[in-house]
Amino acid sequence: MGLYPKIVEALIAKLRKLPGVGPRSAERIVNFLLAQPENEVITLAENIKAVKHQVRLCQRCFNLTEETLCSICQDNNRKNLLCVVEQVKDLVVLEKAGFPGVYHVLGGSLSPLEQVGPEEIRVAPLVERLKQEKFEEVIIATNPTQEGENTAAYLSRILKTMGIKHSRIACGLPVGGEIEYADIQTLKKSLEGRKTL
């Protein structure tokens, strides 16, 4: 027998499936929702439903949008640089950092152990796009994980055969970080990515 009515227990179970939401957080969220005015909770539910029904992927870059093309792809003032990222959340962070170009979202990274090959991520649409659009440079901004590095190396080989200028984002010590607390891989990347002053 649960401590809450079945419908409340069911909602707690659903919320626990969200990333970063544990059992206690899920319980707190449900109790918060129960304390809110009905119109607030209904508006939240309608927003969740609208996101699922109205948001789709941009036909060009695979960013989130409500239209055929996202606002970034529609912006004619963007620089002629293409930044390749793994996920939309990576695009959002780079956009907040002020990246002036456009993007291509792969939708993941290569992972042979999880049987994720080039066919499971958006490599083919990237190659097609590169054949149709000319960019000054392609910046590979995959994560500095083993999968991200493998993806970057794979993309680099493709870009070399196509004769396209490309680079990899630098990886290393965070601003404000101290060397003594950095791991060996981070220090190696910092040394490899050093630049002349």
Amino acid present at 144: P
Structure tokens at 182: 């950095």
How far is Cα 107 from Cα 93, in angstroms, rounded to an integer? 15
Structure tokens at 162: 């196509």
Q: Is 79-192 a CATH 3.40.1360.10 domain?
A: yes
Q: What is the pLDDT along the chain (197 residues), one digit of tens a residue?
A: 578 999 999 999 999 999 999 999 999 999 999 999 999 999 999 999 999 999 999 999 999 999 999 999 999 999 999 999 999 999 999 999 999 999 999 999 999 889 999 999 999 999 999 999 999 999 999 998 889 999 999 999 999 999 999 999 887 767 777 777 777 877 777 777 766 65
Whole-model pTM: value is 0.83
How far is Cα 123 from Cα 131, in angstroms, rounded to an integer? 13
CATH superfamily label, 6-52: RecR Domain 1 (1.10.8.420)
Q: What is the reported pLDDT for 185?
A: 78
Closest by CA to 139, choosing from 178, 81, 57, 59, is 81
The CATH 3.40.1360.10 portion of the chain extends over 79-192
How far is Cα 147 from Cα 104, in angstroms, rounded to an integer? 17
The CATH 1.10.8.420 portion of the chain extends over 6-52
How far is Cα 80 from Cα 73, in angstroms, rounded to an integer? 11
* Integer angstrom CA distances of residue 189 from 149, 172, 181, 194: 12, 5, 15, 8
